[in-house]
Amino acid sequence: MIDIRLIRMEPELVKENMRKKFQHEKTGLVDEVLELDRQYRETKTRCDELRSQRNSISKGIGALMAKGLKEEAEKNKARVVEINNELEELAKLEEKLENEIRERMLLIPNIIDDSVPIGRDDSENVEIERHGEPRVPDFEIPYHIDIMERLNGIDLDSARKTSGNGFYYLRGDIARLHSAILTYARDFMIDRGFTYYIPPFMIRSEVVTGVMSFAEMENMMYKIEGEDLYLIGTSEHSMIGKFIDTIIDEEQLPQALTSYSPCFRKEVGAHGIEERGVYRIHQFEKQEMVVVCKPEESMEWFRKMYQITVDFFRTLDIPVRVIECCSGDLADLKVKSVDVEAWSPRQQKYFEVGSCSNLGDAQARRLRIRVRSKEKGNYHPHTLNNTVVAPPRMLIAFLENNLNEDGSVRIPEPLRMYMGGKELIK
């Protein structure tokens, strides 16, 4: 949610930002907010005037009674009752206007950074970096499910019976590899100074609407029937949510956190759920990183965070590239975002394995997170999030890039201590 003062002072800038995101249908929201805000401020001013009148009249009633001017005192009492009745009605109107303004403000996209490329959708995203040499072996690489099944590492049929499409059983060395990658990711982040968390896996609706847009919420979140709780789609939701309604001393910034969680997603939309595969599924696990920092430091943290993901994948001999998301591909809360994509030797192309986003002060403003500063006064911090690793999607890249011709899978050095010293899965 942007600062309403920006709409008051530069409404055309806000509209132009919508046009850059190809959300022309939203520009009318700016005018609606301006009109509602005018009514809200007029109502608030009238309330202040009435309270001042009431206080002045109330103070004089006692003096009038002391002078024996009972009739005049009674008139003033009646006037106080009238003022109270009007204030009660105005308070309802004030609350109604405030809610209507907030509803519209939540739909207005964040102001994107000037460096974001302009484009309609993900087909116009821009490659900015490559790391590692993409390799295509001289033998055929099977589909990732076939690799796992040949290693007796996955059972999709049983999962369909228990849970339906979009679920899986991992077993044996593949299940162990899955856990090893997450444990390695945890230690990788701790070594870089991040504080490790295991957060709640369910959050209240107030937190959900604070960390994401309505469109994302509708397409992602599972609601717990009969309760004000949602299953998290990523631990970023819980980790940013933990700061709701808090004031952080500026000396405590930056807060660099890394968290493990299962993730649950409806995956509503064009892509849908794979019937035979683990790229797009309803349930998976992830190691995430979250940073809360001063506004002037957020772009430096943004670059540092996605570089950590690049470094992590390179330690496992997986080539990656970094793709900058264009304006039309940015979710409404994001100021700037990149996707980290891993090389697929089987498909001979890259595919997304993580996303790093700078959300400016949008989440902090929605969740009422502030920073206490002696020099600058209270202000909203910037929040950022990034995927460290999200198996089993990452397993696809790992298995394809470490597959040997005989069907065995090489275990890179950093993972061997988590795999009981194994150098191969076969």
Q: Which two tokens stand for residue 324?
A: 């900058």
What's phi and psi for 325, nearest 5 deg? -75, 130
Between CA 326 and CA 93 the distance in angstroms is 40
Cα–Cα distance between 213 and 231 in angstroms, integer? 16
Question: Residue-wise over 124-140: b if at least 16 C-beta within 10 A, else e?
Answer: ebeeeeebbebeeeeee
Q: Which residues pair with residue 352 across a beta bridge?
A: 341
CB 312 within 8 A of CB 186: no
**DSSP percent split of the chain into helix, strand, coil, nearest 5:** 45, 20, 35
Q: What is the C-alpha separation between 312 and 135, in angstroms, rounded?
A: 18
Q: What's the CA gap between 284 and 278, in Å, rounded?
A: 9
Q: Which domains does the chain have, with CATH numbers?
A: 4-105 (1.10.287.40), 122-425 (3.30.930.10)
Given this model, what pLDDT does residue 295 score? 97
Strands 320-324 and 336-344: antiparallel
Where is 311: in which H helix or E strand?
A: helix 298-315
For residue 272, the model assigns a pLDDT of 59
Provide the token pair at 220.
């992602």
Asked whether 30 and 11 are in contact (CB, 8 A), the reply is yes
What pLDDT, on a 0 to 100 scale, did the predictor assign at position 371?
A: 97
Q: Which of 305, 315, 299 is nearest to 415 (CA)?
A: 315
Q: Which residues contact 188 (CB under 8 A, 6 or more apart)?
A: 308, 312, 315, 388
Check: CB of residue 355 under 8 Å from CB of residue 337.
yes
Residue 409 pairs with which residues in a beta bridge?
403, 425
Residue-level pLDDT, tens digit, the chain, 426 residues: 899 999 999 999 999 999 999 999 999 999 999 999 999 999 999 999 998 888 888 878 777 777 778 788 888 888 888 898 999 999 999 999 999 999 999 999 999 999 999 999 999 999 999 999 999 999 999 999 999 999 999 999 999 999 998 899 999 999 999 999 999 999 999 999 999 999 999 999 999 989 987 677 777 899 999 999 999 999 999 999 999 999 999 999 999 999 999 999 987 655 656 667 888 889 999 999 999 999 999 999 999 999 999 999 999 999 999 999 999 999 999 999 999 999 999 999 999 999 999 999 999 999 999 999 999 999 999 999 999 999 888 999 999 999 999 999 999 999 999 999 999 999
